[in-house]
Chains A and B, each alone.
Chain A
């Protein structure tokens, strides 16, 4: 599973370079590098740069961080029961919780023997998290140095839907999961069309909405 995170890491590096190139003008080199080092969230970091470009002050920046990060609560809750270790190790692993590593960790846990779910989930979250973190940092440095990888942006952008479709297929263990996945996809598309400002939150909101009702078949 960690080896399969390499295409995602390549795509993350490309977007890191785009972030580094875009953020340098607003944050300066030290803060751009520090932001990738400390925050490690592409969606939020791009949003911060866009807000700074629009002249935003501190409060909108912090509110945006709060809203965009709400999805981590749901991802963390979905992973919580799979962890076998104590709070200190979980606190370390939490830093690496992003959409992609969540997917790899869930898939690794699903593929493991029942007794090894915790170890497989935690190991995958750590290794895929480190892989993507390093890729994000390297990409940011490349972008800051002026070596943007914009030429392959479209190719990199194509990796994410493919990755998430593959992870969805791995996460389906019942027929009802397929129905819920299709419903969530439709709901996300509807939110993107009707409430474009909530587009970033739509995936997790849709996931929760379709997970609640009914039983499992």
Chain B
């Protein structure tokens, strides 16, 4: 791969990041309502995607246990507690497995 292609990839990447952040006008209330619904589903989807490997196979036991630990503490709506729950789940599964 040439340096020019790398620069092109970098420009495409930065352009995609800046396009909405810089060029999009402040959204109207209707559009803003829809946008406000996006984060929770996107994070839930990202969590799901990180639990699935190639072909949709589930990741290893400790990672699943970490996710379960975090999910268990998610009603607390505390990122710190979710991280602690995840660490506990991972440690427990690694110790048992």
Interface residues of A (CB under 8 A from B): 1, 4, 7, 26-27, 31, 34-35, 38-41, 44, 48, 52, 58, 61-62, 65-66, 69-70, 72-81, 83, 87, 90-91, 93-95, 97, 99, 102-103, 106-107, 154-155, 157-172, 176-178, 180-185, 187-189, 192-193, 196, 199-200, 202-204, 206-208, 210-212, 216
Complex contact B86–A38 (CB within 8 A)? no
B68 to chain A, nearest CB (A): 9
**Known A-B contacts A158-B62, A187-B45, A203-B45; A41 and B13 likewise in contact (beta carbons under 8 Å):** yes
Q: Among B13, B38, B66, which residue has its beta carbon within 8 angstroms of that of A158?
A: B66
Q: Among A79, A166, A204, which residue has its beta carbon within 8 angstroms of that of B82?
A: A166
Q: How far is the CA of A32 from the CA of B21 in the complex (A)?
A: 28
Complex contact B32–A38 (CB within 8 A)? no
Complex contact B49–A165 (CB within 8 A)? no
B17 to chain A, nearest CB (A): 4
Complex contact A211–B37 (CB within 8 A)? yes
Kindly report which residue of chain B lies nearest to residue A215, judged by CB atoms: B33
Complex contact B83–A7 (CB within 8 A)? yes
B38 to chain A, nearest CB (A): 5
Complex contact B59–A168 (CB within 8 A)? no
Closest 4 CB pairs of A and B: A76-B20, A162-B86, A166-B82, A184-B41
Interface centre among B15, B45, B49, B78 (most CB of A within 10 A): B45
Q: Which residues of chain A come closer than 8 Å to B35, judged between CB atoms?
A: 77-78, 80-81, 211
Q: How far is the CA of A182 from the CA of B45 in the complex (A)?
A: 8
Q: Among A39, A73, A169, A187, which residue has its beta carbon within 8 angstroms of that of B9?
A: A39
Kindly report which residue of chain A lies nearest to residue B14, judged by CB atoms: A95
**Known A-B contacts A26-B1, A158-B63, A182-B44; A61 and B38 likewise in contact (beta carbons under 8 Å):** no
Kindly report which residue of chain A lies nearest to residue B8, judged by CB atoms: A62
Q: Which residues of chain B come closer than 8 Å to A35, judged between CB atoms?
A: 6, 9-10
Q: How far is the CA of A76 from the CA of B36 in the complex (A)?
A: 12
Q: Which residues of chain B come closer than 8 Å to A75, judged between CB atoms?
A: 20, 42
